[in-house]
Structure 1
C-alpha cells in the first residue's frame, strides 16, 4: 500500500464523517482532504520539493495532521519537533534536519524569528493560530492553494518522517522513517488496538512523538481523532465523557496523574473500551488501581522506541489471564508482553546468541517498522543496527512462553561494588508501599562502591515518610547492596514531553561532567 493511500481511505469511504475534533473545530474527511491537499500544494508553491524537510513546532492541533498528510501526498519529509525543548535545542534540530520550512504556533513565533539567522537553510516560516508580522499566515496560505491532490511519484524507501529521540539518555538523534516503515507502523498499531471507523481516539499526549503515529494508525482505520492541546487531568476526564472516547494512550506517569486526580470519580469514563499504555515501565500497583477505576476497559501495553515504534505488546487477554490466574500466568503482569504481529524480537547476550529463560540480555528487533538510520549519524546508526537487527539498549529476560520482562535501560543500570542493580526492580518494590505515589531510582557516585542507589519519592497526598522508613521497607525485599543508601522526597518527578520519567534530569546534579550520566 502506498503511504498516501492511508490518508485517502476516509475521504472515499466516509466523506461526511468527522475525522478531527480540535476544541471547537471539527473537520469531516472531505474537509480535511481539501486541507491536506491545500497545504501540500502551498508547500510546493513555496519551492519545496520531494525530499525537502518541513519542521513542525506545534502543540497538539489539527494542523499537525495536515502536515503528516501533506507530506504523504507530496514526498516532503515531516520533522515533528518537541516545542518544550529549550530554544538552542530546537535550533539544533532544525539545523540538523536542514528544514526549508517551518510550521509554528504563534506562541513560538518570536523564538523562531530570533534563531532564524542561525538557520541558513530555512526559507519560509508559517504561523499557525493567527497572523504574525514577518511570517506567512497558515490559513491564508491554504486559501490561496489548490484543493486538488498533489501528483508526485514516490518509492517505498523514500524518507517520510524524521522523529527525534527524547534525549533522556543524551542528545536527541533523528530517527529516519521511510514511507514503507510508516505504513508498517500504522498497520501494526491498528491491528493491536483493533481500531475501526466507529472508534473515537483521544490524542492527549504530544503528537510530535510516538503518540502521533498511534493517531495515524487510528486515521488509517478511519477512526475519529479527538485532540487535546495540553494534557490536564480535568480536560482528559471531561473530554472522555463529552466525546464518548473509546480508545486512548497514556504513559504510566501520566496515567498515575489521572488516578491521583481528586475528581476522577465524578466523570463518566465508561466509554473507554481500550487503554494503551507504554513509554516506560508500568508499576503493578498503578495498573491495579487503573483497573479499579476503569473496570470495563481493556488494558494493552506497548513496548518500543522512536527507532522501531512498537515491537512488543501485552494484550488485553494477557492482562485478564494474569489478573485471574496464578503462578507463572499471574507473573505476566510484570512483562512487556510478546513480539508484535509485524516484528521479530529476541533477547540476546553480548555475543548475539539468545539468552536462556531468566538470563538478562539486550532486546533486539527486526521489522519493517525499524528506522532507516539516524540522520547525519552513520556511526550511531552502525552501532544501533547490526545485521538487520535494531539493538534497543533495553535489558530484559524472556520466559519459556516468549514473554519479555524489561529489566531496565542499559544506561540506567547501576554497578555498585561490582554488582548489577536494575532500578526498575527497586521502583516496582517501592510502589507496593501504601504511602508512595511515585518513585524513581538512580545511581549516584560513591568513593567506595563506585556508585550507590538513591531513591526519589513522591508521597501520596496527606502522607509522610522518612528516609529510614523507606530503607527499612526495602530490606526484606531485595539484596542489601540494592537497597537505597539515600532517599530524597519531592513534590513531583520530572518527566519528558511524552510522559517518560526523565532520569537524566535527576542525574544532572550528581553526575555533572561524567559520561556515566548519559550511558
Structure 2
C-alpha cells in the first residue's frame, strides 16, 4: 500500500507494525491499551475463534457497541478470517436494527453490554436467528475461550469486502455500502499524495466520531496505517474530550461542526491546553465564520473540512490555508477534489456544466464502493460509467471549488447525522391520524439543520405535536425525530402532482411558529 509495500490489505496493518514496532501502543481506551504485538496476537486469536465457530470466509460480523478497542480488534480479526465488519448505528431503534440485521445477515453480532437486550431481541426476530456475543467486563475473552483453534489463512483479495457501512436511500430502505480492501489501499495512496494529509508514526489520533460513521472508522484507521496510536472515546462528550486531550495529548482529531461549537461553549475550554493538536478535521456541514474564528483562536491548529459520502469516502477538502474568516464566500464551499478524485457537475441529460451553473454532483474515485448489498438495481442507478451520482446539487467555480446548493435526495444533515426525509415520512404515515406529510430540513444555528415535519391531519383526528413525536420516537432514532411539527390544511403540490418541497423550505411570514421538539 504505497508507503509500506508489505501492507497489501487491512490484515497486514497489525502484522507489519507488530514486526516493526511491536511495543508501540496501537490502541488506547480509557485505562486499557494494546501494543501492535498484542493487537496482532489478539486479532489472530479472534480470527481463529470465528473460524472455529463455523463462520465461513466471506461472511459478515456485526457490531452494536460504542467506540472501544474491540472495534478495531473485531475489524482486523474479521478481516483475518476473510470476513467483513458491519458496524451498526447504536442510536437506531429495535425496528430499525431488525431491518439492518435482516439485510446484513451477519454470522454473529457482537454487542456492548448496554445493548445486549435489544441485540438478543433483534437477532431472535430474524430467520435464521443470529448468535449474539456480549462484550461484558472481560470483553471477548469468554467467547474466545469457547472457540479454540488455529488462525485461518484465507487468501484475501483487494476486491474482497472489508467493511459494510449502512446508509439510507431516498426510499427509506437501508443500503449496505460495501467497501473493499482495495478502496482503503487507494485511500492510503491518495492521502500520501495530498499535501495536507500529513501522518507519521508519532501521531496520536483521538477517535471521537462513532465507528459506524466513516469519519470515525476510516479517518482513524489512517493512524494505524502509519504506525501511530488511536485514543478511543466511547462517544462525544465535551468534558470527557477535554480530559482525553489533557491525558493523551492527541495530535489529530475529527469532529462535526456541532461538536466543535459545543466544545467551544464548554466552561473548561478557556483554560485548556490544546498545544498538542496540530490538525482538526471536520465534516457534515460548512463551518460558520464566527465558529471558525473562535476555533482558530482557541485551538490554534490547522483546520480541514472534508466533503464525502459513504460510497466514496472523502471527495473534496477545504484546506487549512483556505480557512480565512475574511473570505466567508470560500468558507461556504467544500473545497477542491483530492488527488486522483474527479468531480463534475451535470445537467439532467448527463452533460457537463460550465463553472457557475448548478447541476447534480458526480464523482469518480479510486475509493469507490463496490455496490449496495442485496440491491443491484440501486447500485446500477448510483453508478453509471464509473461515475457515482451523489444526489447533491452543486456548482463548481473557476478554481475548481465545489459549492453544494441543495440535495436531490433531500437528505438532511443534523448534528453530523444524515436523515433522509422518506424515513421520517414513513414513520409519520403510520400514525392513524396523519393523512399526509412531508419532511424537510431547516437551517439551525446549533445542529446545522433541523428536521421539520409538515402534517395534514385526517378530519376529526385527535393529533397533537407531542403525540406525533412520541409516536416517531418508538419507530426511528432520536436524531431523526422532527424538531418541529407544522400542521397544515394541505401540502403544496407541483404541476405533476408531487409535493413541492422547495416551497416548504422557503420561509413564509404567514407560517405559525411551532414548539421545538
TM-score after normalising by structure 2: 0.78
Q: Which residue of 2 is the match for residue 34 of structure 1? A: 41
CA contact (8 A) 2:455 2:486 kept: no
Distance in structure 1 (CA, Å) of the matches to 2:81 and 2:259: 35
CA contact (8 A) 2:450 2:482 kept: no
Does the alignment pair 1:261 with 2:270?
A: no
Structure with higher helix content: 1
Partner of 2:143: 141
Matched, 1:305 2:312: no
Tell me if structure 2 keeps the 8 A contact 1:362–1:393.
yes
Answer with 32-41 or 139-148: which moved more: 139-148
Is the aligned partner of 1:111 residue 2:115? Answer: no
* 2:211 aligned counterpart, secondary structure: coil
Q: Secondary structure at the match of 1:332?
A: helix
Shift of 1:55: 0.5
**How far apart in 1 are the matches of 2:488 and 2:61?**
36
Give the root-mean-square deviation of aligned CA atoms. 3.3
Match of 2:156 in 1: 154
Mapped pair 1:272 → 2:277 = yes
Matches within 5 A, 1:419-434: 427=443
**Unpaired runs of 5+ in structure 1?**
132-136, 415-422, 432-436, 448-493
Deviation at 1:12, TM superposition (A): 2.0
Q: Following TM superposition, by how much is the alpha carbon of 1:343 offset from its aligned partner in structure 2, in angstroms?
A: 1.4
Indicate if the aligned counterparts of 2:123 and 2:131 stay in contact, CA closer than 8 A: no
Aligned residues: 441
Cross-structure match for 2:203:
199
Task: Write the distance in 2 (CA, Å) between the matches of 1:11 and 1:53.
Answer: 26
Instruction: Tell me which of 226, 231, 235 is aligned to 2:231.
Output: 226
The question of whether the paired residues in 1 share the 8 Å contact of 2:455 and 2:487 is answered with no
Q: Check if 1:65 corresponds to 2:72.
A: yes
Distance 1:406 1:217 in 2: 27
Residue 329 of structure 2 aligns with which residue? 331
- 2:288 and 2:455 map into 1 onto residues whose CA distance is 28
For 2:488 and 2:260, the matched residues in 1 are separated by 30
User: How far apart in 2 are the matches of 1:207 and 1:512?
Assistant: 43
Q: Once the 2 structures are TM-superposed, how far is the Cα of residue 140 of structure 1 from its aligned partner? A: 2.4
Q: CA deviation at 1:517?
A: 10
- Alignment of 1:172 with 2:177, yes or no, is no
TM-score normalised per structure 1? 0.77
Aligned to 1:487: none
Aligned equivalents of 2:490, 2:209: Cα separation in 1: 32
- Shifted more, 35-44 versus 141-150: the winner is 141-150
TM-aligned CA distance change 1:76 to 1:443, over 3 Å: closer
- The DSSP-based 3-state class of the residue aligned with 1:173 is strand
Any idea what the Cα deviations from partners look like across 1:261-309, whole Å, max 9, x if unmatched? 12211211121100000022322332222112112x0011110011111
Quick check: 1:37–1:147 contact (8 Å CA) kept in 2? no
Structure 2 SS opposite 1:182: helix
Structure 2 alignment gaps of length 5 or more? 2-7, 413-439, 457-472, 492-497, 503-517
Indicate if the aligned counterparts of 1:34 and 1:147 stay in contact, CA closer than 8 A. no
Verify the 8 A CA contact 2:451 2:482 in the aligned structure 1: no
The structure-2 alpha-carbon separation of the partners of 1:148 and 1:352, relative to structure 1 and needing over 3 Å to count, comes to: same
Deviates more, 1:249-258 or 1:375-384: 375-384
Q: How does 1:65-464 map to 2 (within 5 A)?
A: 65-130=72-137, 138-143=140-145, 150-165=152-167, 170-189=172-191, 191=194, 192-210=196-214, 211-295=216-300, 297-319=301-323, 322-323=324-325, 331-412=329-410, 427=443, 440=449
User: Structure 1 residue 168: deviation in Å?
Assistant: 9.0
